[in-house]
Structures are given as C-alpha cells and as structure tokens.
A and B are shown apart, each in its own frame.
Chain A
C-alpha cells in the first residue's frame, strides 16, 4: 500500500514538474472580421495566426511557454469590435491583442486598449491608427503613404513631372488622394488634374477626357475593384498613351481578369508576397515569404493573400516582444516599441517611439508591371 502511494506521489510530482517545465501559457487575443463584408480580410488573418501559433507551440513555445490564442469575430463592425475587445481584456485577461482587420474597427477599439493599457497590433492600413502615435497601439500593414512614395520615386526617376490623379470617393480612395497631393511637392511633381469617381460608377470617360485635355505625363488611379479596371479600359478607349499607375488596392489577379488587355503595362506598388519567387536570392524576406506561401497553401488549399501577411507580421513582432518581456503588458509594449530589424512578410520592421508602424518604402513595397496577364517585378 505504502509502496503504491509512493509511486503515485512520485508520478504526481513528475506530472506537476512537467507542467512547470512547460511554463504558464502566454494568453493572447485576436480580433478579426472573419465574417461579414470584409471577411476577405479577416479570414486569411485568422488562418495565418492559428497556423503560426501552432507552429510556435510545436517548436516548444516562447522560452518554454506555449501560446494560447483566443480569437473573436468582429464581423467588421465597430460596435462588435468594442464588445469583443472588452471581453478579451476584462474576461480573458490577454497579454496583447492582434487585430482588428479594418481601420474603422481599429480606431473604435483604441480608446479601450489605451485605458486598460493593453498592447494592440492592428492589421489595418489606415495611417490614423499610428499618427499621432498612441503608446499602446501598433500596426503592421503598410500605410498608403509608402505606396505613394514608391510610385513618386519611380516618376522622379523617369522624369514624369505633370501627373493626373483619379481616385474613388470612398475611404480608401480619399486617403490615397490626400497622400498623393501632400507628397507631390517633395518629389517635384505637379498634380495637373484631380478627378474622382464613385465606387459604383459605370463609365469614367468624362473624367478621363478632362485629364486628357491637361496632357499629363502619367496618370495615377487610386481605388479598389471594379472601378480601376473601368478606368484602365476607358483610357485605352480614349487612346491615352500615358503610363497608368494603380494603387496596391488592386494588387490581385482579380484586377487582371477584370481589366483584361487594358491591364497590360500598368505599374503598381505591391507587397513582396505577390512576386516572392521573382525576388533576388539575397533578399532577406524571400525565404520567409516562400516558406509562408508553401505552408499556407498546404494547410488551407489556396494562395495566401497580402492580408494574411499582416497577421503574420503582427505575431512575429509579438513573439519577439514576449520572448524579451515575458508576461508583463508594460514590458511587452516597451519591447514592441524598440523592435528593430524584424524581418517580416511585408517588410523589415524598425519600430521607434515615434513610429509605431516601423516600415519604410524600401522594403514594404515593390513596384510591379503587369505583363502578359501576370506580375513582373520592376528591379
């Protein structure tokens, strides 16, 4: 009897110590628009986070601590996002939150993470998320400004001085329009025409006729499908020969399918994930990109989108911060703010107290040209 008791207690001790060895799990939260009209953003983000956390845990966690992730669906709605962030912070007591997926939902939850002092790494692109800098808020998605800079550098190099812009009258287009107008003087560029179109407009020849009369060196169109495809077709119809630039908002094969032949020759900024296999071998991101694409494809049966990459980068940053700081929100925040040289999917992150996005146009975007219905990296 006594012998059995002894053996049992030894066993129990071993079990207990085993769990001590493994360490307390780090509990983190995820907030994505998994359903609703922006599910195309939130779903790959959730998939990526789940995949990455599993991978980290399989490799022994962070300093022996496994990661436990709790993911809620915001349905892309502000009120829902606010409800879920409170639940994550108050009920689940997470150390940090990744998400939300949209700029609107991110702006809605910022007051809460600031009040409860919880680090938030948003996957949305809006520049208002990190400007002005809020102590607890970070983001991984590239700002529009970087895309504009990328296009303007190209214009400067090729001596395009007079530029016409045509933007869609929604949040995405207007943010792009602001940046296009604000940055032009820095690159010695004059905006000779500033036209708008509605997200559901069927014909843009009127705006383009106006642009044609101004005879610009190049045209920049800022929008999301299907408008930009119509702009491309209308430009061909009007026989306009100017170089057409698009935004990263149409960096998907869908755009090429819609615009057809009119897409040929268009130049646009895009995340490196679009042309990962064309990157030079010495590109520090290439290996990570190819690895991510292969793993995502194997697990979910489809190509990962640029959006999944934002969640990947957020988790990469958080992993770095957790490894440095442990289970302490304030220290995690500090570690995030001082994360330098983190090689991610969408660039190399160099955070600082002044910059909570940490990207620059050199690594965040590449320019691609559409050739024969496919992307061609411009070197």
Chain B
C-alpha cells in the first residue's frame, strides 16, 4: 500500500511538470495550429535562468520573475523572427521551423552555460514529509501547487477575460474572428509569450529537483507533447489531465513492470493514442479545414 502511494507521489511530481509543458503546447496549437517542438527548450531556459539568477544571489521571487519574463520574451522573439515571417506557409513547414529553433536554442544554451548541470538550491527546505508511510519532499508539493494554480489561472483567463475569449475565438475560427474585428496577430504573439512563460514556470519549479542542464528540454518536451496528445491538443484541461495520467503511468510502470520500460510507457501511449483516438481523450474533433 505504501509503495503504491510512493509511486503515486513520484508520478504526481513528474505529472505536474508534464502538465505544464502540455499546457504550453495547447496554447500555441490553439492559436496557430503549430506544434511547437521548441517547447521543451522554454523549460530549459526557465531552469537555466533560475540557476543563473540564484547563483547571483538575487532574492528568489525576483529570480523567478526574471526567469519567466526573459523566457516569455524569448517566445515573443521566436514568433517575430521565425514564425511570423513564415506565417503563410503550411503548419508542417512551421513545425519544422520549430524543430530547427529547438536545436538552435539548445546550442546557444550550451555556449552560454556550458555542458555541466547547474545546481539550484531548494526553495522550501529539503526535509521529506511522511504521509502514511510514503514520503514526499516539500519541493514536490510546491511543484504540484504551482501547476494547479497556473492551470486554474489560465483557465480563468481564457473563460473570463475579453482577451482570453478573443484567443479562443481565434482558435475556433480565425476568419470569423477576423470578421468580428479581432486582431489576430497580437493574439498569436501573446500565445507564444504565454506558452513560453508557462513552460518557463515548469522549468523554474523543477530546477531544484532535476538541476539545470542545457539539453534537459528535449526529453521533457517530448513527454509534454505525449501528454498533450493524450489529453487532446485542443483542450487545455485535457492536456493537464494528460500530463498527470502520463506521470502516474510512468511511475507505476517503473514500479510494477520494469524501470527499463518507463519511457516506453509514455511513447506507447502516444502512438496508441494517435492511432485510436487522434483527437485525444478530451479534445474535440476539429472541423476539417480546407
């Protein structure tokens, strides 16, 4: 029993991270129909910048804010310099552009920060908390709480604010949105900034657990993508659930099957999902676009 609980804790921690990254995927996908394969690099940037600013002994809240802001800025730059000029191209071209961007960002990070992982001090102490025989570290609780708050805030933003509603309108039907007088371009820009910020947040809060390495983004990005596909690329709450399901499945696979198949679990789910239910568990079948 306490083992299962421990696997659950382990899965929830990874799952919260996957959820935040998956959320980043859906934000950009909804706005542009592009799957941004540089998403994982935003996580890496968030973690790396946190390590840097913590190294400079800045107060933690300031370090977080700067890390997230700078990554959001990177998101905006990417949209302006790489996606916007090619906006007339097909989504597949744009997707390939994002793969190129991912390689570029990773390379730059290697130049700036070097190849060694950077340590980040724990934000909230390292003494493990015992719950019914299983243990969890405070940082993991922080990860979970942050993920939940971020998801709820975004949900409120999309449902309650005018800008959020406009973004959803854009996602639903870009032409119709434009006819109603919604300016699409700034919204796409905003989507990139938001998506980068959410992923950077994931990077910030996991950095004390996983440390910061220039090449940490790729695998996390793939896991986040699997989670997003599992939950449905069009649904933000679906993506979040997908993240948690994936994290827990991975932990259970490692615990009960063999840890050798842990990563396989994620990718088998991805492939099965794409075959059986490509719109995801909670996604809506999108209207065929011409």
Contacts and interface: CB of A to CB of B under 8 A. Distances in A.
Interface string A230-263: 1001001111000000000000001001101100
Contacts of A203: 10, 13-14, 209, 251
Contacts of A213: 3
Given A202-B17, A205-B6, A230 B209 contact: yes
Given A239-B135, A258-B117, A202 B262 contact: no
Which label, helix, strand, loop or mixed, suits the secondary structure of the A interface?
helix
A196 B260 contact: yes
Contacts of B211: 225-226, 229-230, 258
B7 interface: yes
Contact of B219 (A37, A200, A239): A200
Nearest to A205: B10
B216 A200 contact: yes
Nearest to B9: A205
**How big is the A interface, by class?**
20 to 34
Given A196-B258, A196-B259, A198-B262, A257 B210 contact: no
Contacts of B126: 233, 236, 260-261
Interface in A191-223: 195-198, 200-203, 205-207, 209-210, 213
Contacts of B137: 233, 237
A198 B263 contact: yes
A201 B250 CA distance: 11
7 contacts: A196-B260, A200-B220, A202-B14, A203-B251, A206-B252, A233-B209, A254-B117
B116 interface: yes
A169 interface: yes
Interface string B229-262: 0000000000000000000001110110011101
Contacts of B116: 40, 225, 254
Contacts of B220: 200, 202
Interface in A296-341: none
B204 interface: no
B206 interface: yes
Contacts, number: 98
Interface string B211-227: 10101101110000000
Interface in B85-137: 115-117, 119, 121, 126, 128, 130, 135-137
Which label, helix, strand, loop or mixed, suits the secondary structure of the B interface?
helix
A143 B218 CA distance: 31
A196 B218 CA distance: 20
Contacts of B260: 169, 196
Interface residues of B, number: 40
A202 B263 CA distance: 12
A280 to B, nearest CB: 32
A106 B213 CA distance: 27
B210 A207 contact: no
A233 B126 CA distance: 9
Contacts of A229: 117, 211
A239 B128 contact: yes
Contact of B119 (A196, A237, A260): A260
Contacts of A260: 119, 121, 126
B255 A206 contact: yes
The 7 A-B residue pairs with the shortest CB-CB distance, nearest first, are A200-B219, A206-B254, A226-B117, A205-B10, A202-B210, A209-B6, A237-B128
B128 A206 contact: no
B122 to A, nearest CB: 8
Given A205-B9, A206-B11, A260-B119, 20 more contacts: A40-B116, A196-B258, A196-B260, A196-B262, A198-B263, A202-B220, A203-B13, A206-B6, A206-B10, A206-B250, A207-B259, A209-B7, A210-B254, A210-B259, A229-B117, A230-B209, A237-B128, A238-B128, A254-B117, A258-B119
Given A202-B210, A209-B255, A236 B128 contact: yes
B128 A257 contact: no
Contacts of A261: 126
A236 B124 CA distance: 16
Nearest to A211: B259
Contacts of B262: 196-198, 201, 206
Contacts of B219: 198, 200
A258 B258 CA distance: 27
A227 B128 CA distance: 19
A142 B274 CA distance: 47
B139 to A, nearest CB: 10
Nearest to A38: B115
Contacts of A200: 215-216, 218-220
Given A198-B262, A198-B263, A200-B220, A237 B117 contact: no
